[in-house]
Amino acid sequence: MTCLPVYLLLRPLLAGRRVLEVGWPVPGASAVLEQSGAAALHAWCPTAVPPASPLDNEWDELVATSAASFDCVIALDLLERLPEADRGRCLEGLAHLLGPQGLIAVAVRNAQVPLLEESGSAHPGFDFWSFSRLVGGHFSHLALLGQSPMRGFYISFLQPAGGAESLSLLDDQVAEPEEASHFVAVASQVELPSLQPYSLGRRGQAAGGGGFPSPAARRAGAAPGRA
């Protein structure tokens, strides 16, 4: 999975924070994190691989000994590799690792969009609504984003299912959830900080615009851009 845009999206939020990466290494991500000004960088990589569950005794030890130890937890390309019975357990563990103001970023592939580089993948991914319900069931505030490495690398906001705090699409790069090759959830138990939708051109140029609507606008169900 091409996850680097997620790191670029989060980079402005990481200065001075304790960051944990959960899952398998993402090429180029370490350089982005090192430039973010994070106070501390930690990583947990599963030793077990599917079809065995990656949530082994080392995972249980991490959750048991590191409660509220991190300000940001990044778990990309992990949930879809887990047996279905372990997915809720994984999110409960991620929530347990976060400090009171912490947030997580979780990314999965869109099961409805075939990826050329992952043809024949044993990990089918999620549909938009099941992913939204799964993450929203563990966190009070949720923003769902769509990413695609197939049309010039972009990441932009989508409308998640009801229940958790929701955001509307802020630009026209992803008109519908079905057009995103990957879904990204940014979630927390507290009000989400301001983020910029991030767009990457094919040559790597970055461009962002907008940001989260104000809390008042979200409560009123109003947001700039396409409804």
pLDDT given at position 58:
86
CA distance 87 to 71: 21
Average pLDDT (80-102) is 92
Closest CA to 142 of 122, 153, 157: 157
Average pLDDT (136-152) is 80
More confident residue, 25 or 131: 131
CB 177 within 8 A of CB 215: no
Residue 29, SS3 per DSSP: helix
pTM (two decimals): 0.78
| Interaxial angle between packed helices 128-136 and 84-97, expressed in degrees from 0 to 180 and rounded to the nearest 10 | 40
Strands 40-44 and 18-22: parallel
Q: What is the DSSP letter of 90?
A: H
pLDDT higher than 70, residue 125: yes
CA distance 151 to 136: 28
CA distance 68 to 51: 30
Residues in the chain: 227
CA atoms within 13 A on the CB side of 168: 15
pLDDT higher than 80, residue 206: no
| Residues forming a β-bridge with 148 | 154
CA distance 84 to 8: 29
For the segment 3-14, what is each residue's pLDDT rounded down to a tens digit? 777 888 888 889
pLDDT-derived band of residue 50, with 50, 70 and 90 as boundaries?
low
Identify the CATH assignment for 4-219 out of 3.30.420, 1.20.272, 3.30.160, 3.40.50.
Answer: 3.40.50
Residues 6+ away with beta carbon under 8 Å from 136? 142, 160, 161, 163, 164, 187
